[in-house]
Structure 1
């Protein structure tokens, strides 16, 4: 419109806006990068605080509060610098847009006076142009106040979208038929190694039958927990196959695999909430049960006595400091057993539990359905003495150990070689 009134004065009006647009395109990536760096520094500071608080007992026990202070100070200084740079970047648009607005006004006024002196422009039209300049640049000045916030939002979204775009590196193969007469679990020439690491398992083969109890023993770092993780498909083998009921474990959907295999980790993961929230986690059959029905289900599974270990029963709060490590392992055990899996894997599940409670756990294991296969990984020999078969894991090999005495002899020989 201003070009139609007077194209020369119109160009003077629009030219600062064009320069401003080009400058915005140049500055915007820099502002976005500063905000991304600030978000990373805030995340680093939060992680440092969380780590220090989680391990504060160790810090106090070793009298290293000075270490905590120095690490926090270092992260805090880095965060301050990054936040300061982001603040400068975020506040650069408003003064720049304000500058170009006044530059447009001065340019229109100066050139308008020249045109008036030449008789090419009236004073009234100059006043109208100045009004149009204000109306044209006011929305741009308002956008400038929001543009930096928009760049912060984009930087935040990139961090979130990076997580959302992550995909599982455990592909699901096409379904295959289940072989009813096949052993429950088979390792067929399985090999495994962590990225850029030595081989943990070398061409290992064994099978687990239904309804039996198997124990895996071996020195620390021998590959026991890795073998258990392969059974539950937390990893895929580097070579060979893991078969569940005659079917490649990779062909099972995650939901079906989780229903068939119960896994109790060395360090159980629990959700903040209550004991009930954790018991029904991922268990669709129990999520709709009332507290009374859930307690009945626990009693029928032989887990009622374990529930009494929690002061408020199902409503006992669960937090990082609210439960002991032994109680956390108990809760993880109850959660796994309640799913009634075909294969139950206990990876050092009784390491932090007293002898009386361990006997309760053994009683619960005996009440599992006869077809349930149990895999026990433990260093305490009394935990594995009732196993039907014992395997010795070390040096990338899994060897049948026969009796408990033979397993102890193999452990002693291994320690003697060290």
Structure 2
């Protein structure tokens, strides 16, 4: 029986990003502000009030010039000056309130967005992380989300405020004198055309710069993570060369992005100055013709400044918007990814597997890059038996183990667990049934207790005394005694305080405490001494009689007691019979190679 799955062939390469239209991107960004309607409503009202005050002051200044200064009515001048002072104070208050409201909205959005991106990463399979560097993912979670937040918390409200101010100014100048008003707004048309033409190029340059920044972060993370190896092989020069190359690319792309972002400012400034010259020249002509007053000309000059000053701000804000869109593209490409390991609905009846706990039926597997690893594999594993997988490096042993643990799905065929398609098990059910101990186990900074209970909901509620009893019942007390502070031992995984052997012991305790039906040991004893290895073997023997053990190891003493040995090589899994027969097959392979 063969079944084409193909799920694992999903393209997880984040460099192949799809670009979102600005409107669609903004709508998706606003999804993270669903709970902020009240604050956004207040901020919008304050912004309208601010814009109204901004529109009122130039007209008042022109009125004061025409009616009080030119006519020398200084008493009224002082009263209107006090009114202007009051308006400016209220305006300052609205500015502060806007900043406070949008700052809070932005921070809450950042919190929600980072949570969503991180939770999405938790749902994605191993294939995703094999296709993308962790440093770049960190940059997307930290830097790119912050770029989006900066736009919403600081730039968006200023952007909207500028738009409303400009609309208000346009209405005022056209109502005061439509010909002069229209003449003052002509340069704005050229600004709009320029922005529409140049914006896609600016966004593209920012996207390239953000990617280069992510690549630089990835290079730093990889170099520091493997710094011991770099020192051991005296290849600091290699690390420096890689960093220098990434830093050089980041520098050049940042310069280009900076030039693109700053291109709007001088262009907008030029057309702003041109508009003031138009108003000044046309306004003086109208005064000479007796169609205009000095106060109105002063008001008009102020209005033109109020119209084009926001435009100059919009130059920087528009660049910020393009940067935010580029950052959003990098974030949304993660949010759009779906796991290629879906959970299928369970069937009412299990397939007939003669009581085998695990069955491979015509299983083939290829990695997304097209490299074929396994070809039409068939075998059965019975409950309570110990199996060993041996073979040359690269033969497919770890891939077989990964399929057993469903880190990947086969390209073709079925993997059956207890007679059911393994894809019908939820992640919680599957990890409860299958314990996987890797050669390089994962730990996180925290206490020993937190690490051994990682993902174990059943034991997480126990107090220390109850947990110690559970550890004792499982025969793991000797391993726990190797840690001075017991369950309270602090583990700092970024330092040398925890050896690789100790990490392996913790991973072993963590897996055995789950009491799984199947225990997979992928070179799990490679980094521990023979005495500890003997203790681990004794603990394995004390597991329930129904527990099936699958061992991948190069040490012969680790597999000599296996009930059955499989030879894995060139995409085939062949029953090898005895240990001697397996050794003969290995020797034949070495001679042939």
State whether TM-score is above 0.5.
yes
The residue that corresponds to 2:450 in the other structure is 277
Q: 2:536 aligns with which of 361, 364, 379?
A: 361
Check conservation: 2:216, 2:247, Cα contact below 8 A: yes
Matched, 1:317 2:488: no
Structure 2-normalised TM-score?
Answer: 0.66
195-204 vs 349-358, greater mean Cα deviation: 195-204
The residue that corresponds to 1:38 in the other structure is 209
The residue that corresponds to 1:249 in the other structure is 422
- Distance in 2 (CA, whole Å) between partners of 1:417 and 1:136 is 81
Structure 1-normalised TM-score?
Answer: 0.92
Q: Alpha-carbon deviation of 1:198?
A: 5.1
1-10 vs 133-142, greater mean Cα deviation: 133-142
Check conservation: 1:214, 1:387, Cα contact below 8 A: yes
- Distance in 2 (CA, whole Å) between partners of 1:63 and 1:143 is 52
1:190-339, aligned counterparts within 5 Å?
190-197=363-370, 199-314=372-487, 315-322=489-496, 323-339=498-514
CA RMSD of aligned residues (A): 2.3
The residue that corresponds to 2:564 in the other structure is 389
Check conservation: 1:177, 1:247, Cα contact below 8 A: no
Q: 1:162 aligns with which of 327, 333, 336?
A: 333
Unmatched segments (≥5 aa) in structure 2? 1-170
- Distance in 2 (CA, whole Å) between partners of 1:191 and 1:282 is 30
Q: Alpha-carbon deviation of 1:185?
A: 0.5
209-218 vs 288-297, greater mean Cα deviation: 288-297
Equivalenced residue count is 418
- Distance in 1 (CA, whole Å) between partners of 2:333 and 2:465 is 43
- Distance in 2 (CA, whole Å) between partners of 1:283 and 1:96 is 61
Check conservation: 2:272, 2:308, Cα contact below 8 A: yes
Q: Alpha-carbon deviation of 1:228?
A: 0.7
- Distance in 2 (CA, whole Å) between partners of 1:73 and 1:280 is 42
Check conservation: 2:444, 2:491, Cα contact below 8 A: no
Aligned partner of residue 355 in structure 2, secondary structure: coil
The residue that corresponds to 1:57 in the other structure is 228
The 1:83/1:295 distance shift into structure 2, 3 A limit, reads farther
Q: Alpha-carbon deviation of 1:178?
A: 5.5
The residue that corresponds to 2:71 in the other structure is none
Q: 1:150 aligns with which of 321, 338, 350?
A: 321
- Distance in 1 (CA, whole Å) between partners of 2:464 and 2:208 is 47
Aligned partner of residue 184 in structure 1, secondary structure: strand
The residue that corresponds to 1:186 in the other structure is 359
- Distance in 2 (CA, whole Å) between partners of 1:212 and 1:37 is 55
Check conservation: 1:216, 1:224, Cα contact below 8 A: yes
- Distance in 2 (CA, whole Å) between partners of 1:235 and 1:92 is 48
The residue that corresponds to 2:150 in the other structure is none
Unmatched segments (≥5 aa) in structure 1? none
Aligned partner of residue 229 in structure 1, secondary structure: helix
Q: Alpha-carbon deviation of 1:62?
A: 2.6
141-150 vs 293-302, greater mean Cα deviation: 141-150
Aligned partner of residue 356 in structure 2, secondary structure: coil
Q: Alpha-carbon deviation of 1:145?
A: 4.0
Q: Alpha-carbon deviation of 1:184?
A: 0.8
Matched, 1:135 2:340: no
